[in-house]
Amino acid sequence: MINFAIVGMGHIAKKHIEAIEKAEGANLYAICDTNSDQLELAPSHVKKYTDLENMLIENKEIDVVCICVPSGLHAKLTKIVAEQKRHIIVEKPMSLKLEDAEAMLGFANENGVKLAVVHPNRFRPAIMKLQERMAAGSFGMLSHANATIRWNRNQAYYDQAAWRGTKEFDGGVLMNQAIHDLDLMLWLMGPVESVQAMAATRLRKIETEDVAAAVVQFENGALGIIEAATTVYPKNLEESLAIFGETGSAKISGRTANFVETWDFEDGTEEETEQLKQEIKADPFGKPGHQWIIEDMVQAINEDRQPIVTGEDGLAPVKLILAILESAETGKKIFLK
Ligand SMILES: NC(=O)c1ccc[n+]([C@@H]2O[C@H](COP(=O)([O-])OP(=O)(O)OC[C@H]3O[C@@H](n4cnc5c(N)ncnc54)[C@H](O)[C@@H]3O)[C@@H](O)[C@H]2O)c1
């Protein structure tokens, strides 16, 4: 059994707990939160701590720590966990600054521990099918891709904790919500060469952007269009990812990008498309992404390999978002290299 601990017993920790409890080969051993009231939400059978380093020093049995604290603290806690020679699963965004993400890669490498970043949307059934089509070359020459997230996060959402919507600890709609879609875009389309963007804080009282629009050019020459907002009235309207190429068009959509809307390929048939749409409709969410990430870490340790979503993968969307924000601020086209 691989023993897991969680640091940060807030909203997302609940998904980690569920995932660890369901995952084969994983055992939930301890939970740490600096706020002892939050520890009351932890399952009764686990050990509870208010200091991360003490938890790791006192419990050599812990193999992996899931970092579920506000995003601006990810790098600091990664350092503590890596120096205690434990493997790390860190929530998205990996960090809010490029130098933090680079430092995190260094902490993991220097201490010989594995570092995985939580990008659970990669494991959605429709997205995995899309990735298979991309890997098979079914799109032919790529034209462009589109990532749209039209969601609602009202003022009460931002007001529930002091760190939310801040530059130092959270970031805006790009770092917090759209990062999942940008991760998918980068994973499927490859690295971005340049970006031009605008961003604004329109409706929420926060330090960061609540709406952003960007156009990118990928290194392969294809274009990408990104629209991200948490301002949409009155509730989440759409999250979608579309890819267009010479011999294929696909769009995964819905309120969360889980359903196949368009699926047309020169090397496919209408029957296959209909069958896929029905198959996905019957089970749009599949096994929870967090469970995939936990089970993958168990296997990565047992097989001594890298996790599926590596620290380098986590750094890529952070770098892209920082370039989008820089373009929005300066009005200039930003090159990522
Ligand atoms: N993958 C996803 O889909 C997803 C979804 C939601 C949130 N997240 C990410 O998870 C992270 C946490 O978000 P949340 O919504 O759970 O936040 P939250 O505010 O609900 O919980 C954070 C917890 O961390 C604790 N904490 C703060 N500093 C600490 C420290 N130094 N040591 C130990 N505990 C500390 C707080 O007391 C709090 O209980 C963020 O990075 C967020 O972006 C990811």
Classify residue 313: in a domain, yes or no: no
Range of the domain at 330: 121-286+318-335
Which atom of ligand 1 is closest in space to residue 164's alpha carbon? 19
- Give the model's pLDDT for residue 298: 98
Residues 129 and 68 in one domain: no
Residues 13 and 33 in one domain: yes
Residue 277's nearest CA partner among 264, 259, 250, 265 is 259
Mutate to test the pocket of ligand 1, among 11, 38, 51 (most ligand atoms within 8 A of CB): 11
Residues with CB under 6 A from ligand 1: 7-13, 32-35, 38, 52, 68-71, 73, 91-92, 118, 120, 161, 176
Classify residue 133: in a domain, yes or no: yes
Classify residue 138: in a domain, yes or no: yes
- Give the model's pLDDT for residue 168: 98
For residues 118-127, average pLDDT: 98
Classify residue 140: in a domain, yes or no: yes
Residues 276 and 132 in one domain: yes
Residues in the chain: 337
The answer to whether 158 and 205 are in contact (CB under 8 A) is yes
Residues 324 and 180 in one domain: yes
Distance in Å, CA 11 to ligand 1 centroid = 7
To the nearest whole number, what is the mean pLDDT of the chain?
98
Structure-token match 């979503």, residue found:
309
Give the CATH number for residue 135: 3.30.360.10
Calculate the CA 8 to chain-centre distance: 17
- Give the model's pLDDT for residue 22: 98
The answer to whether 11 and 290 are in contact (CB under 8 A) is no
Distance in Å, CA 298 to ligand 1 centroid = 22
| Tally of structural domains, the chain | 2
pLDDT band of residue 240 (cuts 50, 70, 90) is very high
For residues 209-215, average pLDDT: 99
Distance in Å, CA 237 to ligand 1 centroid = 25
Mutate to test the pocket of ligand 1, among 7, 15, 32, 33 (most ligand atoms within 8 A of CB): 33
- Of the chain, the end-to-end C-alpha distance in Å amounts to 42
- Give the model's pLDDT for residue 7: 99
Give the model confidence (pLDDT) of 166-187 as tens digits. 999 999 999 999 999 999 999 9
- Give the model's pLDDT for residue 4: 99
**Which residue's alpha carbon is at the smallest distance from atom 15 of ligand 1?**
11
**HSE-up of 311 (CA within 13 Å, CB side)?**
23
Residue 31's nearest CA partner among 111, 10, 125, 287 is 10
Residues 209 and 331 in one domain: yes
Classify residue 137: in a domain, yes or no: yes
**Which residue's alpha carbon is at the smallest distance from atom 5 of ligand 1?**
12
For residues 14-43, average pLDDT: 98
Which atom of ligand 1 is closest in space to residue 12's alpha carbon? 16
- Give the model's pLDDT for residue 42: 98
Residues 68 and 103 in one domain: yes
Classify residue 198: in a domain, yes or no: yes
Share of the chain above pLDDT 90, in %: 100
- Tell me if residue 331 falls in helix, strand or coil: coil
Give the CATH number for residue 57: 3.40.50.720
Distance in Å, CA 163 to ligand 1 centroid = 10
For residues 112-128, average pLDDT: 98
Residues 59 and 153 in one domain: no
Classify residue 252: in a domain, yes or no: yes
Q: Where are the alpha helices (DSSP H) in the chain?
A: 11-22, 36-39, 52-58, 74-83, 98-111, 125-135, 155-159, 173, 179-189, 270-282, 289-303, 311-330
Classify residue 50: in a domain, yes or no: yes
Residues 110 and 130 in one domain: no
Q: How many CB atoms lie within 10 A of CB 260?
A: 23
For residues 277-290, average pLDDT: 97
Distance in Å, CA 299 to ligand 1 centroid = 25
For residues 272-282, average pLDDT: 97
Residues 45 and 141 in one domain: no
Which atom of ligand 1 is closest in space to residue 77's alpha carbon? 31
Residues 143 and 258 in one domain: yes
**Which residue's alpha carbon is at the smallest distance from atom 25 of ligand 1?**
8
Give the model confidence (pLDDT) of 136-165 as tens digits. 999 999 999 999 999 999 999 999 999 999
Residues 7 and 141 in one domain: no
Residues 87 and 132 in one domain: no
